[in-house]
Structure 1
Amino acid sequence: MTHHALLLLTFLSCLIRSVQGQSPAKQSLLLWYKQPANQWVEALPIGNGRLGGMVFGGVETDHIQFNEETLWTGGPRDYQREGAAQYLPQIRQLLTDGKQAEAEKLAQEKFMGRQSNEDDYVQKKTAWFERVRNVINTQQNPASATFDDHSWKTMTVPTVDGWEKAGLEGLDGVIWFRTTFDLPASWAGKDVVLDMGRIRDQDFTYLNGELVGSDEGITKNRRYKIPAAKLHVGKNQLAIQVINLFDKGGFIGVKTNQPTFVVYPEGGKPTDGVPLIQPFKYWIQDNSPPASPRYQADYQPFGDLWLNFKGQSNVANYRRELDLTTAISRVTYSANGVNFTREYLVSAPDQVMAIHLTASQSGKISFEALLDSPHRNFSVRNVDDQTIALAVQVRNGALRGESVLRIQTQKGQVSVSGNKLIVSGADVATLYVTAGTNFKNYKDVSGDPAVMSQQPLQTLRSKTFEAVKGAHVRDYQSYFNTLSLDLGRSPNEQLPTDERLKRFEQTSDPALAALYLQYGRYLLISSSRPGNQPANLQGIWNDLLTPPWGSKYTTNINLEMNYWPAEMLNLSACHEPMFTAIEEMVETGRKTAKAHYNARGWVLHHNTDLWRGTAPINASNHGIWVTGGAWVSRHLWEHYRYTQDRDFLQKRAYPIMKEAAQFFVDFLVKDPETGWLISTPSNSPEHGGLVAGPTMDHQIIRDLFKNCMGASEALNTDATFRDTLKTMYGQIAPNQIGKHGQLQEWIQDVDDPNDHHRHVSHLWGIHPGTDITWDETPDLMKAARQSLLERGDEGTGWSLAWKINFWARFRDGNHAFNMLKLLFRPAISPEGVTGGGSYPNLFDAHPPFQIDGNFGGSSGIAEMIVQSQGKTIDLLPALPSELPTGHINGICAQGGFVLNIRWQNGRLNGVDVTSKAGQPCVLRYGDKQVSLSTEKGKTYRLDGELKVL
């Protein structure tokens, strides 16, 4: 071929790609940074569905924090409160009579689920409390003005996230604090106010040896009036006993700019006050309080791997990255003229986390590796001269775990010293980390942690790292490579990921939206594999013994949002752990349905955990929400709709859906005022308290009944039950339009147009439900849109993500994209203030971190491109003007279809439809619509006018 012919061929190839809306160069699917992570939300996540790691990538000290999916607090037990159902009629009547406060009080006392340790806790707490308070009656009284505290440690307060962030992770119990302040002579004879902000949870505050204040509860600002007679001009001694029985502890300040930790004259201003001397001295009096009663369990961190390197000076060319195409994280840099590379992965085939270290010169790999854990009384033992093992026991829990670290090297020496492995002068080093617990299932903790931690290492003895890496990549790509997305290019692609986030709102960077969607797929693959637990509130990544909201499964939005992308984004297999968990929740949910409602079937309230608790938890004003089981059942139906797997529908999905529906057949009651069937008692999630008849409940229940009827028709079974559902379906309280033109959140028209609550639960019927659509109920769609406008665009991370999906369903792509800009907003401001958005590692910020926003955001981007919730497959239904050209291959639609879609200049350019089940296919683009009779396994190509090619 001549040179001119080659140039012509290249030109034509580029032209064809341009016409098809494709970029000539492949987009990079890398998260990368010019510096190591300084905090956990900057570290890069890796995982295989069971094991998770967070890579910090430090030069002199590297840190990999790791988790294993089954290490939780608690243990197998019953969560339901037997006999609760006897109070149900009274609670309902109180709500009917408008006595919400009385209903909530009765429900809190008699209707909530059982807590762990609740039977003997009061007695144990009383004895313990008397003992720790008795210290003030001893000769070594820490409250005394003359007490010698010179040996105490120091802590700067406040610690906004609790004293855990000041090095006391996992500490519950009693800590004494001491500090002083200097009273000006001009204040002599004046009463003063001592302001210490908020304290978790109880304090006894002494001034110069006398008790001057005591209170309990996080919501109460500690402002104590001190009479002038108790004060001295000059130095005054403060001593505070802080008692914290569970969760975060200590001084947490206030969420305002008002100064705290000051003393000021009564009637004066805190800004004119005298500050308390910092840092405070502290002493841990007791760290073993009786185990607090808990409604549900918390997901736990497992341990930490630390790598300490020496001689890492003159560092240059540092880069830390995560490659979404291979699920490998990498750190590269040069030091003293040597190029160093570290690779990090978590292999599903080999069930191991691997860290591979290489250098450009021989003999340059030298470091110490050690294991530790935030769990109290962890231990590390020497297994052999290349291996150490970490043992952990969850405090007051049934679970224990073991992790093993083994190092293999080429050349060099490996030795063991205490809890450290020491490598000297190696050419190459590979670290393998495993972990396992005694968890077998939610009813059985008789497993052996050593099985999961030691067996994988036996097979690795004969494998090279390249073999482990190759198997990992092939396994991961079997999931990831099912979908590709190109949304266009921009110069920002050359920037580090944290810089791209900062610039996204002001500059065009469509490739970051594509990266984010693929990152969501990466996180789902890495945290939810067949045979594992479902992704929890943080996937499988957590570094805290008391994580936010327990890092469990919140079922009034968050668990479900985790799986919104699963079917659409061609990761149907990743949905499987949720289905298995649902099957287990059916078993516990039957007990809850009987004990609390005297009903058949099964029920799930607004949270569950590893032990599959289904009873009401926390507080009656939000914990009694009955439609969790109905919502998760929708995922079973969606899986069938996308896969057309009749065997799955018959053997797994429909029996669960039917039992969920049976509960509501028994539970729904007639509203005495309207005659409608309503859900009572319940809650519009976390908003408005305990009520009768929240709109969201009725949308979900209608959806469940409709799907059950569809399933029974498809399976040609249960005609009588289907008729029952059909009759009741038409009697359920309908969606209503209120006086502001809004979709009502409750039966009563009480919505406040100035209410900007993060939950927008009454719009469930638009997404993910189909109770309200443009095709069938346009007036309700307009009312729902008005509700969303009134609620506002702002929100926490997952709330922003849900709103992207809403605006896509409203077919307003530009508004949806504006919401995406808010979701991409850096969660940590230059001033250090955190808000809803994205952390530097692209984790979703509630704040703090919740992974549901990542999954919801991925779903929202996909909803802009394809929607198939109705009778048609809608192409580009909400394409924003900022994404005018692109293509996606492998996106899925209900009916068993896989689509490749191309668009250019905001217009559809073509679509390929592959039929996996041979079902009829109706495509719609704008006002164009075409119906196809398809054959299983066949692909159909159509142009931008929906004409078959």
Structure 2
Amino acid sequence: MTSSSPSAAAPARARLVLRLDAPAREWTDAFPVGNGRLGAMCFGGTGTDRLQVNDDTCWSGAPGDPDLAPAAAPEGPQAVLADARRLLDVGDVPAAETQLRRLQSGFSQAYQPLVDLLLTDPSVIDLPGANAQVDGVVAARADLGAPAAYRRELDLDDGVVRTAWTRADGHRLRQTVLASHPDQVLVAERVADDGTLDLDVRVAAAHPWVRALAPARDGSSAPGTVDGAVRLVGLVRMPTRVWPDYAGVAEAVERGDGPSVLAAVALAVRADGGEVRVDVGPDGPVVAVRGASRVQVLLGSATDHDVRTGTLHGDAERVVGEALATVVAADVRADLRDRHGADHRALMGRVHLDLGGDAPDLPLDARLVRHAHGAPDPGLAVLAFQLGRYLTVAGSRPGTLPMNLQGIWNPWHQPPWNANYTTNINVEMNAWPALVGDLVECHEPLLDWLDRLAVSGRRTARELYGARGWVAHHNSDAWGFSAPTGLGEDSPSWSCWPFGGVWLATHVADHHDWTGDDEALRRHWPVLRDAAAFLLDWLVERPDGTLGTAPSTSPEHQYLLPDGTAASVGTSTTADLAMARDLLDHLLRLAPVVGEDDTDLLTRASAARDRLPAERVLPDGRLAEWSGDVPDAEHDHRHQSHLFRVYPGTAIDPDTAPALAAAARATLDARGPDSTGWSLAWRLALRARLRDADGVAAHLAAFLHPVDADPADLPPTPPGVEPTHRGGVYRSLLCAHPPFQVDGNLGVTAGIAEALVQAHRVGPDGAREVHLLPALPAAWPTGRVQGLRLRGGLHLVDLRWRDGRVEHVALTAPAPCTVVVREDDHRARVVVGSTPTTTRLGDQASVEVSITKR
């Protein structure tokens, strides 16, 4: 629908820019760029600038099934499981936990850094202490103190990091950095606005060179220099194993004789004017540019890791050739930036959010401190929302791996938690903004990886548990690790959790619910179907005749035994039963779509679902987490897995289950006002689903807490909050667990979307309800959102509100359907047809609903 009213005019869109007025002092101060596979953290140094580079295929280790509890369980893992269940039945929890530790089968591998690209102005002398050593790589840190007129920006709209500064001699320099998806290269360009510039370009490898970086021959020209550009290429090998930091292994990074990823790096340096040459320095070749007006640096990479199959081909010459060919092809293009910009904006530009108010002309760190003192700044929420979408575009594209704990950005050989796929919330949260944020193609890498994980998980299910289908536990990696994590001494609170596949498989259903893509559903259906097959074999009959789970944990949480000691293993936790019910619902609902003909599976699934206990409410009003009324070991625990069917599930909301929704809200209240960064994002989404606008505002404010600000500049810590464990964001707006984890940035995007519109409910007649502004914070009285995707294939073309009330909404649908549009208790029932339909919502004369066929 087109309206001639003034309020319908598109507002001037504020630039989506993260700004800091000093070079990065820490890794978390840097700004990320990425093309899904190749990522870099941009420090913005003016003496030596560091671009810390990752390739998403660079992991330690190699494909291969781990031993499943080899020596720890000589009688066989299924006998160990049976004994643990017997011990739980007689109430000997500590002995059961001891038995279950015997099923632990090692650790996932670790995501790895690739190289540092170092850009040095030889006329600038870095101050003492300006060099930082990261995992043995000496890489220049940004200058201590900002030079004159310094400004560093991450432009979310264009996918470019821009830095500008004035040198001591008065000359102005500008630099842009981007990671091109169309051309698969990192591009750094430095320009002298007046005069000329000198630049030394060097690559520092994060791993030992297999073939040292050296001038490259492309087969037609002299080595190194081609048409005025210098090209270099080298080869490194990833470690054969990296132990996680919590494993306590002294030599954590192993470089043995076994297979591991081969990675090639190619570099091209081209200048306008001046001289370009290759010098030999103590740390390898340096491309020296003198007297140029503009310098362009391209970096490309290739590895022998085939993401489609999860295998290594081991051909070093092929890897080197692919990296060099990528750079050569990009080096001759004059439209690199235009191609990148068009590609990036085609995704980022699909969704617009305006929450009103004028953004202060301040850098991010100052804005975050100001916001912590209570100053209104709705623009920070907009930036947080769009940063999650930007990171999704930058970190996940078709053909890549899904994002890990660090997204695709990591400087450490031994990153926190191995930067792996933590499946008890984190990898799932990484995918939350893709569908609602209209980035469906960015959801595909997760589904493709699940296809491969299920292959490994089938062996684990069969050999460890004697079960059909596939299983995954707490951790995984690029190679599909699916066994229980640990070495026999690790906590069952996270290791003993065979529900990773049960939760992950729901993303297959989510993809179909948002897109209606039957072909994608059929392609990935074995993931969902076989996760349900494992679940049905895992369920056990309980003494009361219900079906339950044993052993069972509530991820990473513990309860207290009668003697006061902490325990984690029990039977039939609420989280297990909630995820089980959700998966079986999806199986039975979608089986007709794919033509599933396994009637035995479907019959068993229907019968099992009917025997699963529902959630229950504790005497104190909270939603029960454990099968018994036992005290929590941590009342403010960061996980809230037992609220699964509130969010990301859809079964519990204030209309469909008011008592359980009230209990869920009481649970969140009891958890307290603060937590780690990613947990705050999850709680924000839960509050939104519960229509708790004040809770949304409080958790968003807590999420935007600047963890790296000087405590003297911040208000006092809220009562009951432990300052040393408080999460939030770094001055770059990256999420602080702490340490950095990308999941919080992605989860907060999904949570903000839930506060603005929800479409998870379908009535008995099949009509989908679109609930507008279900949890709008009071601080956003006027605003507009355009472009969100909704379940049922609906598309929120436009939603405007003023003074907290809907002013206009426009929806499209892919096919004729009936939609119930709702604000508070006002509802309008609309049948989507081939022509626009307008109706009023409630008794507000200015409110219009326009729904058209897509």
Find out whether 1:393 has 2:237 as its counterpart: yes
Between the aligned partners of 2:39 and 2:610, the Cα distance in structure 1 is 47
Q: What is the deviation of 1:710?
A: 0.5
Q: What is the deviation of 1:94?
A: 1.2
Between the aligned partners of 2:147 and 2:83, the Cα distance in structure 1 is 71
Q: 1:670 aligns with which of 531, 541, 549?
A: 541
Between the aligned partners of 1:515 and 1:943, the Cα distance in structure 2 is 33
Task: Show the counterpart of 1:81.
Answer: 68
Q: 1:326 aligns with which of 158, 168, 171?
A: 158
Contact kept in structure 1, 2:841 and 2:849, CA below 8 Å: no
Contact kept in structure 2, 1:913 and 1:941, CA below 8 Å: no
Task: Show the counterpart of 1:72.
Answer: 59
Q: 1:112 aligns with which of 93, 97, 104?
A: 104
Q: What is the deviation of 1:605?
A: 0.9
Q: What is the deviation of 1:834?
A: 7.4
Find out whether 1:304 has 2:111 as its counterpart: no
Determine which structure has more spread, i.e. the larger CA radius of gyration: 1
Task: Show the counterpart of 1:898.
Answer: 795
SS in 2 for 1:931: strand
> What amino acid is aligned across from residue 296 of structure 1 in structure 2?
S
Between the aligned partners of 2:239 and 2:450, the Cα distance in structure 1 is 28
Go from structure 1 to structure 2 and tell me whether the alpha carbon gap of 1:862 and 1:353 turns closer, same or farther (over 3 Å shift).
Answer: same
Task: Show the counterpart of 1:775.
Answer: 655
Task: Show the counterpart of 2:766.
Answer: none
Find out whether 1:404 has 2:266 as its counterpart: yes
TM-score (norm 1): 0.76
Go from structure 1 to structure 2 and tell me whether the alpha carbon gap of 1:851 and 1:943 turns closer, same or farther (over 3 Å shift).
Answer: farther
Between the aligned partners of 1:599 and 1:752, the Cα distance in structure 2 is 32
SS in 2 for 1:414: strand
Task: Show the counterpart of 2:422.
Answer: 554
Go from structure 1 to structure 2 and tell me whether the alpha carbon gap of 1:795 and 1:495 turns closer, same or farther (over 3 Å shift).
Answer: same
Work out the number of aligned pairs and report it.
747
Q: Deviations over 1:382-403 (max 9, x none)?
A: 3314122343222335112111
Task: Show the counterpart of 1:438.
Answer: 304
Contact kept in structure 1, 2:471 and 2:500, CA below 8 Å: yes
> What amino acid is aligned across from residue 917 of structure 1 in structure 2?
A
Go from structure 1 to structure 2 and tell me whether the alpha carbon gap of 1:94 and 1:327 turns closer, same or farther (over 3 Å shift).
Answer: same
Q: What is the deviation of 1:626?
A: 1.5
Task: Show the counterpart of 2:87.
Answer: 94
Please list, as runs of the form range in 1=range in 2, the aligned pairs for 1:688-703 lying within 5 A after superposition.
Answer: 688=558, 689-703=568-582
> What amino acid is aligned across from residue 85 of structure 2 in structure 1?
R
Go from structure 1 to structure 2 and tell me whether the alpha carbon gap of 1:681 and 1:802 turns closer, same or farther (over 3 Å shift).
Answer: same
Between the aligned partners of 1:563 and 1:940, the Cα distance in structure 2 is 34
Q: Which moved more, 1:347-356 or 1:828-837?
A: 828-837
Contact kept in structure 1, 2:822 and 2:841, CA below 8 Å: no
Contact kept in structure 1, 2:365 and 2:709, CA below 8 Å: no
Q: What is the deviation of 1:500?
A: 1.2
Task: Show the counterpart of 1:927.
Answer: 825
SS in 2 for 1:895: helix
Q: What is the deviation of 1:377?
A: 5.3
Find out whether 1:530 has 2:342 as its counterpart: no
Q: Which moved more, 1:379-388 or 1:348-357?
A: 379-388
Identity of aligned residues (%): 34
Q: Which moved more, 1:822-831 or 1:468-477?
A: 822-831
Task: Show the counterpart of 1:794.
Answer: 674
Contact kept in structure 1, 2:19 and 2:364, CA below 8 Å: yes
Between the aligned partners of 2:484 and 2:817, the Cα distance in structure 1 is 42
> What amino acid is aligned across from residue 665 of structure 1 in structure 2?
L
> What amino acid is aligned across from residue 369 of structure 1 in structure 2?
V
Contact kept in structure 2, 1:798 and 1:853, CA below 8 Å: yes
CA RMSD of aligned residues (A): 2.1
SS in 1 for 2:659: helix
Contact kept in structure 2, 1:351 and 1:456, CA below 8 Å: yes
Contact kept in structure 2, 1:627 and 1:697, CA below 8 Å: yes
Contact kept in structure 2, 1:415 and 1:422, CA below 8 Å: yes
Go from structure 1 to structure 2 and tell me whether the alpha carbon gap of 1:446 and 1:311 turns closer, same or farther (over 3 Å shift).
Answer: closer
For structure 1, the 5+ residue unaligned runs are 1-12, 116-294
Q: Deviations over 1:135-169 (max 9, x none)?
A: xxxxxxxxxxxxxxxxxxxxxxxxxxxxxxxxxxx
Between the aligned partners of 1:655 and 1:518, the Cα distance in structure 2 is 34
Task: Show the counterpart of 1:687.
Answer: 557
Q: Deviations over 1:464-493 (max 9, x none)?
A: 2xx00000011111111111111112342x
Between the aligned partners of 2:369 and 2:840, the Cα distance in structure 1 is 38
Task: Show the counterpart of 1:654.
Answer: 525
Q: Which moved more, 1:482-491 or 1:542-551?
A: 482-491
Find out whether 1:480 has 2:348 as its counterpart: yes
Q: What is the deviation of 1:887?
A: 0.5
Please list, as runs of the form range in 1=range in 2, the aligned pairs for 1:798-817 lying within 5 A after superposition.
Answer: 798-817=678-697
Find out whether 1:861 has 2:743 as its counterpart: no
Task: Show the counterpart of 2:410.
Answer: 542
Between the aligned partners of 2:524 and 2:817, the Cα distance in structure 1 is 20
For structure 2, the 5+ residue unaligned runs are 70-75, 126-145, 217-223, 242-259, 559-567, 713-723, 763-768
Between the aligned partners of 1:461 and 1:663, the Cα distance in structure 2 is 51
Task: Show the counterpart of 2:812.
Answer: 914
Task: Show the counterpart of 2:339.
Answer: 471
Q: What is the deviation of 1:807?
A: 0.8
Go from structure 1 to structure 2 and tell me whether the alpha carbon gap of 1:365 and 1:592 turns closer, same or farther (over 3 Å shift).
Answer: same
Task: Show the counterpart of 1:723.
Answer: 603
Find out whether 1:51 has 2:23 as its counterpart: no
Go from structure 1 to structure 2 and tell me whether the alpha carbon gap of 1:393 and 1:829 turns closer, same or farther (over 3 Å shift).
Answer: same
Please list, as runs of the form range in 1=range in 2, the aligned pairs for 1:173-212 lying within 5 A after superposition.
Answer: none
Between the aligned partners of 2:19 and 2:634, the Cα distance in structure 1 is 41
Contact kept in structure 2, 1:941 and 1:948, CA below 8 Å: yes
Q: What is the deviation of 1:23?
A: 8.0
Between the aligned partners of 1:821 and 1:502, the Cα distance in structure 2 is 11
Contact kept in structure 2, 1:913 and 1:940, CA below 8 Å: no
Q: What is the deviation of 1:640?
A: 0.5
Go from structure 1 to structure 2 and tell me whether the alpha carbon gap of 1:14 and 1:412 turns closer, same or farther (over 3 Å shift).
Answer: farther
SS in 2 for 1:687: coil
Task: Show the counterpart of 1:3.
Answer: none
> What amino acid is aligned across from residue 866 of structure 1 in structure 2?
V
Find out whether 1:643 has 2:515 as its counterpart: yes
SS in 2 for 1:913: strand
Please list, as runs of the form range in 1=range in 2, the aligned pairs for 1:716-755 lying within 5 A after superposition.
Answer: 716-718=595-597, 719-752=599-632, 755=635
> What amino acid is aligned across from residue 302 of structure 1 in structure 2?
L
SS in 1 for 2:202: strand
Task: Show the counterpart of 2:483.
Answer: 615
Please list, as runs of the form range in 1=range in 2, the aligned pairs for 1:626-641 lying within 5 A after superposition.
Answer: 626-641=498-513
SS in 2 for 1:321: strand
Task: Show the counterpart of 2:294.
Answer: 428
Between the aligned partners of 1:555 and 1:311, the Cα distance in structure 2 is 49
TM-score (norm 2): 0.85
Q: What is the deviation of 1:791?
A: 1.2
Q: 1:317 aligns with which of 149, 152, 167?
A: 149
Find out whether 1:885 has 2:751 as its counterpart: no
Task: Show the counterpart of 1:5.
Answer: none
Between the aligned partners of 1:629 and 1:352, the Cα distance in structure 2 is 34
Between the aligned partners of 1:348 and 1:890, the Cα distance in structure 2 is 23
Q: What is the deviation of 1:928?
A: 1.6
Between the aligned partners of 1:746 and 1:496, the Cα distance in structure 2 is 46
> What amino acid is aligned across from residue 366 of structure 2 in structure 1?
E
Q: Deviations over 1:705-754 (max 9, x none)?
A: 00111001334543553332121101112211112121110111114497
> What amino acid is aligned across from residue 696 of structure 1 in structure 2?
A
Contact kept in structure 2, 1:637 and 1:653, CA below 8 Å: no
Between the aligned partners of 1:501 and 1:710, the Cα distance in structure 2 is 45
> What amino acid is aligned across from residue 589 of structure 2 in structure 1?
G
Task: Show the counterpart of 1:414.
Answer: 276
